[in-house]
A and B are shown apart, each in its own frame.
Chain A
Amino acid sequence: MQVHKYDVVIVGAGGAGMRAAIESGQRAHTAVLTKLYPTRSHTGAAQGGMCAALANVEEDNWEWHTFDTVKGGDYLVDQDAAEVMAKEAIDAVLDLEKMGLPFNRTPEGKIDQRRFGGHTRDHGKAAVRRACYAADRTGHMILQTLYQNCVKHNVEFYNEYYVLDLITVEEDATREDGTTYKQKRVAGVVTYDLASGELHIFQAKSVVFATGGLGKIFKTTSNAHTLTADGMALAYRAGIPLEDMEFVQFHPTGLAGLGVLLSEAARGEGGILRNSDGERFMERYAPTIKDLAPRDIVARAMAQEVREGRGAGPNKDYVYLDLTHLEPEHIDAKLPDITEFARTYLAVEPHTEPVPVFPTCHYAMGGVPTNIKAEVLQDNEVVVPGLYAAGEVACVSVHGSNRLGTNSLLDINVFGKRAGIYAAEYASTAEFVELPEAPETFVTEQLEMLRNSSGDQRVATIRAELQDTMDLNMQVFRSEESIREALDKIYELKGRYQQITVQDKGKRFNLDLLEALELGFLLDMAEVMTVSAMHRKESRGGHYREDYPDRDDENFMLHSMLYKDPGFETEGVKGIRFDTKPVIFTRYEPMERKY
């Protein structure tokens, strides 16, 4: 067992993690722990752009951006956070440009901008060109640029180290009003070195979680195989609540059957969605901005078309993304990668043929609750000193119930930077929290259990069944019945998970073993998501209940907070405590959301 000591430990080396590392690495002794080589992170899969009100091509300002973000999130957005993000977006883009990011340029040599779903001028009057981009590889460029700058600043990476436990301690503390509570403090993390199979403990004053999302809960997803909710599950197991987990974004244009992402930029550049009759159906759902409506609306509209029998293809189970009316040179210049995906994976030529698309699980709006300093909250108010989270794993909440396109690249840059700065700042004055006795015990036991299990359950089977049931019951349309079905299935799968077995018993690069652990994370998070969805008896943003099709501000203008707590039961599921947290309003009153 090796113990390493660092001022700041960053978990995850995607956009948020590396953005934090660039800040923290220059201020404090920092290590980045990542289960993938940094450039493999899924930030690189983002395509369309990163919004900031630079007003390089059209009149724009950050206040409009804030409004769009709030409205896009169906008013479940914490408006102070949205303001911070929209305001700092401008610097975030300029920072990246100065780090060397090769943005597309206007003829004058400034950063070019394009239209994107839900981004409008003057509070919804018309679509605005706000997304700064580099062809349809903006995420790739961001990831590469951040990695390049980590190399520049000699950031210390521990590649292929899986963080398997968050070490926290609890102390008695007293509030100002004299009441007592348990204050959590972070001491470090337990990691597993994939190459050697050895455990390493990292003791740290600050820990930044930037572990990304949970897309692999679903079968059809644009997410990487490695996005298995690790960070959320670890925080949850350590007694930290999870906020708004019912809100999952389904990206409208995933390649049908595969889920591979085709950027919203395709519609930003003029692409049109059509049903089997060739009708531009978005005109019926969002008369003003049509195909550039926010993703939840478009995804639902597509699913609705298919349900009503207007789907295309032999099984009538997808719709078309039509780019054929655009100039081929324009498509090749602005959307080179996604057209290649269509050619490679579906043998469809986007210049002349419509591309089959269907919604694909894309993004978790919820996650580990943080404040605008990226500090993790252990309940509605109390901060866990030294613990930070940024990116998809966190819920600030800037995305509310539905994230606008491009706002995730923005989120990782704005809050990644903040997390890095505040984590280093905290570490400069704080002391190390003493490690508890044998902090690795839990992980060791888990690993031993999996290695020595005599069960007969296979990881892949359970995972596939989980993904099937989630796709079937928890996708864009949900109802009490379907959610109940998902919950029952998850309960069954969690039982079977106890009898799981792995074939690879070795120490070296044992990915078989880690897939089993990741499945544990997925099951936990699927359960939390489903319970949370059951509890929210309204439709808002990415969460649509057929039995409650309207938004209900009176009862549900609140964030959901779910705690792992053995003494409680929520929606018939033992061990989960449900609570709510008020939404922060600054300037915008909730209105009906129409586009």
Chain B
Amino acid sequence: MTATNSEAVLPAQGIEAPRSGRIDPKYLRSSASSGSFEMVAWVFMRVSGAALVVLIFVHLFSNLMVGEGIHQIDFAFVAGKWANPVWQFWDLTMLWLAMLHGTNGMRTIINDYAEKDSTRLWLKSILYLACAVIIILGTLVIFTFEPCLLDDAGNLMDYSPSFCESVVN
């Protein structure tokens, strides 16, 4: 720009800007996001998806195919499994991955389909709350699970797993 152009009428001085500078505010990206959250989320979806396939199918196999199959499932069966730290870890991983995977999927769907920011905020708040409740509850159950329950008389409940006999006595 040359010095002689000082009196040029520029958009800032009250003249409407050329359209090339005028953009519907709806399309302006509010701020550049920092970090790589979306990338991590994207990778997580793929890794957790693959892990869940293994976790879920082994879970289904051990519950439904091995031994008596579907007929063996009762309180005792579950209690028996969770007495084993391997299964505890297995189910914990499955719970966390499945919940985070599903929640992130829902988050994406809300992002893609909710058109208003406020709608989005509400839906996501509910989603995250639900997710947190289920994860916390599930984790608590896995770690604080009491397999050998006694009735008022101090006897083992009759659906207790067999190893309780030795524990109680």
Q: Please give the residue numbers on chain A whose beta carbons come within 8 Å of chain B beta carbons, in ascending order.
A: 2-7, 28-29, 31, 156-160, 193, 195, 427-428, 431-432
Contact = CB atoms under 8 A, between A and B. Distances in A.
B16 interface: yes
A431 B4 CA distance: 8
Contacts of B16: 2
B115 interface: no
21 contacts: A2-B16, A3-B9, A4-B8, A4-B9, A5-B5, A5-B8, A6-B5, A7-B2, A7-B4, A29-B1, A29-B2, A31-B18, A156-B20, A157-B20, A159-B18, A159-B19, A160-B19, A195-B19, A428-B2, A431-B4, A432-B4
Given A2-B9, A159-B18, A195-B19, 14 more contacts: A2-B15, A4-B8, A5-B5, A5-B9, A7-B5, A28-B2, A29-B1, A29-B5, A29-B8, A31-B18, A156-B18, A156-B20, A157-B20, A159-B20
Contacts of B4: 7, 431-432
Nearest to B3: A428
Nearest to B14: A2
B7 interface: yes
Contact of A157 (B1, B2, B9, B18): B18
A6 B8 contact: yes
Contacts of B18: 31, 156-159
B1 A28 contact: yes
B102 to A, nearest CB: 42
Interface in B1-37: 1-2, 4-5, 7-9, 15-16, 18-20
Contacts of B7: 5
A427 B9 contact: no
Nearest to B4: A431
Nearest to A431: B4
Contacts, number: 41
Contact of A7 (B1, B9, B15, B19): B1
B83 to A, nearest CB: 66
5 closest Cβ contacts across the A-B interface? A5-B8, A29-B1, A158-B18, A157-B20, A29-B5
Contacts of B20: 156-159
A70 to B, nearest CB: 39
A166 B20 CA distance: 23
A450 B1 CA distance: 39
A353 to B, nearest CB: 45
A432 B8 CA distance: 11
Contacts of A160: 19
Nearest to B7: A5
Nearest to A424: B2
A158 B19 contact: yes
Contacts of A4: 8-9, 15
B129 to A, nearest CB: 45
Q: Give the interface SS of chain A, mostly helix, strand, loop or mixed.
A: strand
Interface in B57-93: none
Contacts of A7: 1-2, 4-5
Nearest to B18: A158
B16 to A, nearest CB: 7
A7 B20 CA distance: 19
Nearest to A427: B2
A384 B153 CA distance: 114
A28 B5 CA distance: 9
A442 B18 CA distance: 24
Contacts of B2: 7, 28-29, 427-428
A510 B35 CA distance: 47
A386 to B, nearest CB: 13
A195 B18 CA distance: 11
Nearest to A161: B18
B62 to A, nearest CB: 55
A69 to B, nearest CB: 37
Contacts of A6: 5, 8
A111 to B, nearest CB: 33
A422 to B, nearest CB: 15
A3 B11 CA distance: 11
Contacts of A432: 4
A3 B9 CA distance: 7
Contacts of B9: 2-5
A431 B2 CA distance: 11
Contacts of B5: 5-7, 29
A193 B16 CA distance: 12
A5 B1 CA distance: 12
A31 B10 CA distance: 12
Contacts of A3: 9
B28 to A, nearest CB: 18
A39 B75 CA distance: 70
A582 B121 CA distance: 76
Nearest to A33: B18
A31 B5 CA distance: 13
A7 B15 CA distance: 18
A2 B7 CA distance: 14
Contacts of A193: 19
A225 to B, nearest CB: 22
A358 B18 CA distance: 43
A2 B11 CA distance: 11
A29 B5 CA distance: 8
A28 B2 CA distance: 6
A124 B26 CA distance: 61
Interface in B82-115: none
Contacts of A31: 18
Nearest to B15: A2
A193 B20 CA distance: 12
A157 B4 CA distance: 22
Contacts of A158: 18-20
A320 to B, nearest CB: 46
Contacts of A195: 19
A31 B18 CA distance: 10
A377 to B, nearest CB: 26
Contacts of B1: 7, 28-29
A427 B18 CA distance: 22
B57 to A, nearest CB: 46
Most buried by B among A3, A5, A159, A195: A5
Contacts of A428: 2
Contacts of A157: 18, 20
A391 B16 CA distance: 31
A29 B7 CA distance: 12
B156 to A, nearest CB: 78
A163 to B, nearest CB: 14
Nearest to B5: A29
A5 B7 CA distance: 8
Contacts of A156: 18, 20
A7 B16 CA distance: 19
Most buried by A among B1, B7, B9, B18: B18
